Structure 1
Amino acid sequence: MRIPHLASTHDAALASALQAAIDNKTKPQGSLGVLEFVAHRIGLIQQSHTPRIDRAAVVVFAGDHGVVAENISAYPQSVTWQMVENFLQQGAAINVFARQNDCALHIVDAGVNHEFGEREGLVARKLGPGTRNFAQEPAMSAAQCEQALQYGMDLVEAMPVDVIGFGEMGIGNTTAAAAIMHKITGIAVAECVGAGTGLAADGILRKQQVIERAVALHAHAHADTPLEILRTFGGFEIAMIVGAMLKAGERRMVLLIDGFIVTSALLVAAKLQPAILDYCLFSHCSDEHGHRRMLQHLDARPLMQLDLRLGEGTGSALALPLLHAAVNFLAQMATFSSAQVSEKSA
């Protein structure tokens, strides 16, 4: 397996030209705020003075987690496959938001503990009926982790899109994401763990203790490189997102990052290829405890603060109109000279 190599998007001449074009629109400089940053970043990603967003997709990866045996979720594991069925029936929030934003939606069975059979709209990439319980042993084998990365890369290779958002579904995956966050960032486990699907204070404490025990269990197994952390604590869906992100960056797509679990995948991807952060826009700051610290660690600038913590890629779908607004103002707004509007006095 080849890890894609990502070059920085930095191009001094293009960056200067894009900034000049943004500043010359009929508005005070900086008055469109974060939209100006977004237009500039998309231009650098696409290496274009006139960036466009014609085709967008959200890919939702679903997988189960053996660590649910430790009673770390408010919901039973069966909810994973039931929600996949809901996606396929067009009944979930991500279906609604993708439809309203004319966004393609792909549902991937990365490793759900359920046999769906051949289903229209479901991409079958099952690596098993969920990962193993990382509180007792590594979540996946090295071969499974590598295959998950490759599946993610292959899926994105076949997608003709400009912008790709990532979503996930998997009971137990906030526990996996919190463990990854702790191992990658060094932030204390207590600051990484949150309510997930709705745990009360005692459930959150239990989740914290499970992760701390697991970290101690694997302390002598050299689980400190990005891929070993992913293999030991991650999920099949998280690993596929890592591979998908790396390939999307290599193909110069805009990566629209969702919430806590998706950002945990980005932590791994950024350790493997730091330049991937040049290709990212962060849709929102999740209400899941720990996500704000993740974003601070990445020096990320979220586009929205809506107190979301649903996952599924919902934040990414909701942020798409902001990306369209950014490229549209750059393409369609008049300049001071074309509109014959007086510029600011010196």
Structure 2
Amino acid sequence: MPEPGLAAVHALCAAVTPPDPRTARRSQLRQRAQARPPDALGALDAVAHRVAGIRRDAAPGPLPAAVSVLAGDHGVARHGTSVYRHGYTARVLELIRAGHAPVCTLAARVPARVECADVGLCEAVGDQRYKIGTGTGDITRDAAMTPAQAVEAVLSGARYATDRLADAGLLAIGELGVGNTTPAAALTARLLDTAAADVVGAGSGVPADVVARKRRLVDVALARHADVPAGDPLALLAALGGFEIAGNVGVILAAAARRQVVVIDGTMTAVAALLAVRLCPASAGYLVAAHRSTEPAHRALLAGLGLDPLLDLGMRLGMASGATLALSLINGVLAVAASTPSARSAGLVPSR
């Protein structure tokens, strides 16, 4: 018998069913009869059909939107892998809670409310109901967390999603975590069986010598945890992950079970998405990629997920900023799909 936490993760996965392809097809047929050229909005029309299948509604119209940011600290950051130090993550989370961070300004334009939680900061910030630990271990020397903590973090993310995000049909997810591109690169390398040199980037904007140091650290971490099965997402999370990454795995699974559209942001949410899909393949149908960041790991992860991003703006801000920008695009095309009259009713039937 699996331990209770593991059984709860399995139950969460079992609650996810794939989106309905018949409703997505009805959305396509409906759009082709509208007073505009078929698929004239390109990738946005494709997203509208995908959302229709997720929501089981051929013309759902604009959806209530929310933005989520989970925060955690990383032990490997003590090697100087970021331009920022421990404590910075907590300060930025406080800015988000006060409504003064960039993501808050972007969300107000959607409009979407912003929710956030401390799931693994070294300092205590705000609501502590979802917190699992005070920063992860240094993955070059030890596991990031215990197996029990990894499971608990996934379930905590799911509980947070149920408590704070359940009313949003459209959900942008993001994270905060000084140094988290290093564990994300390590996870990407294991999940996609690639070399550290191919997935380590500048992260917060570090110079070339620090990028080289990050590659060495990822190589050390991969060697230390080489015995962890690549086919066991929870074991990989425990060995190489972060509390905010694990928490977002739970957010994705819980949102998919509620038939919410999940808009992923950058590298950290993409690696969480790939872990969620490895745990629960049906969750893949609920994901929309907002943008392609400057991190090489992000490009590899999007390819691994089979997702084409809506935007490619060279962003690396994090905190769900790219995903928040995409909310306006998605709700815009949903409004067009729901409100455009038929070509026949508008007297615009094409000539043959």
Q: Fold conserved (TM > 0.5)? A: yes
Report the RMSD for the aligned CA atoms in angstroms.
1.5
Where 2:310 maps in the other structure, the secondary structure is strand
Q: Report how far residue 124 of structure 1 moved.
A: 4.2
In structure 2, the residue matched to 1:59 is: 68
Give me the whole-angstrom Cα distance separating, in 1, the residues matched to 2:258 and 2:350: 39
Give me the whole-angstrom Cα distance separating, in 2, the residues matched to 1:100 and 1:322: 12
Give me the whole-angstrom Cα distance separating, in 2, the residues matched to 1:168 and 1:11: 31
- Listed one character per residue, the Cα deviations across residues 202-243 of structure 1 (whole Å, up to 9, x for unaligned) are 101110110111111111344651111111111111100001
8 A Cα contact 1:64 1:235, kept in partner: yes
In structure 2, the residue matched to 1:190 is: 197
Give me the whole-angstrom Cα distance separating, in 2, the residues matched to 1:182 and 1:91: 35
More off after superposition, 132-141 vs 223-232: 223-232
In structure 2, the residue matched to 1:249 is: 256
The 5-angstrom pairing of residues 168-317 of structure 1 reads 168-222=175-229, 224-317=231-324
TM-score (normalizing by structure 2): 0.93
Give me the whole-angstrom Cα distance separating, in 1, the residues matched to 2:217 and 2:291: 28
Q: Report how far residue 7 of structure 1 moved.
A: 2.0
Give me the whole-angstrom Cα distance separating, in 2, the residues matched to 1:196 and 1:112: 19
Residue 20 of structure 1, aligned match among 29, 33, 38 = 29
Give me the whole-angstrom Cα distance separating, in 2, the residues matched to 1:128 and 1:337: 60
Q: Which amino acid aligns with 2:21?
A: D
Percent identical among aligned pairs is 33
Count of residues in Structure 1 that have an aligned counterpart in Structure 2: 340
Q: Which amino acid aligns with 2:124?
A: E
Give me the whole-angstrom Cα distance separating, in 2, the residues matched to 1:131 and 1:344: 64
Structure 1 unmatched runs, 5+: none
Give me the whole-angstrom Cα distance separating, in 1, the residues matched to 2:304 and 2:255: 22
Residue 324 of structure 1, aligned match among 322, 325, 331 = 331
Give me the whole-angstrom Cα distance separating, in 1, the residues matched to 2:52 and 2:227: 45
8 A Cα contact 2:274 2:304, kept in partner: no
Distance 1:195 1:334, change over 3 A: same
Where 1:109 maps in the other structure, the secondary structure is strand
Structure 2 unmatched runs, 5+: none
- Runs (4+) of structure 1 exceeding 3 A deviation are 221-224
Distance 1:221 1:260, change over 3 A: closer
Where 2:259 maps in the other structure, the secondary structure is coil
Q: Which amino acid aligns with 2:17?
A: A
- Listed one character per residue, the Cα deviations across residues 281-322 of structure 1 (whole Å, up to 9, x for unaligned) are 111111222212211121111111111111100011111111
In structure 2, the residue matched to 1:7 is: 17
Give me the whole-angstrom Cα distance separating, in 2, the residues matched to 1:344 and 1:310: 49
TM-score (normalizing by structure 1): 0.94
Give me the whole-angstrom Cα distance separating, in 2, the residues matched to 1:317 and 1:100: 9
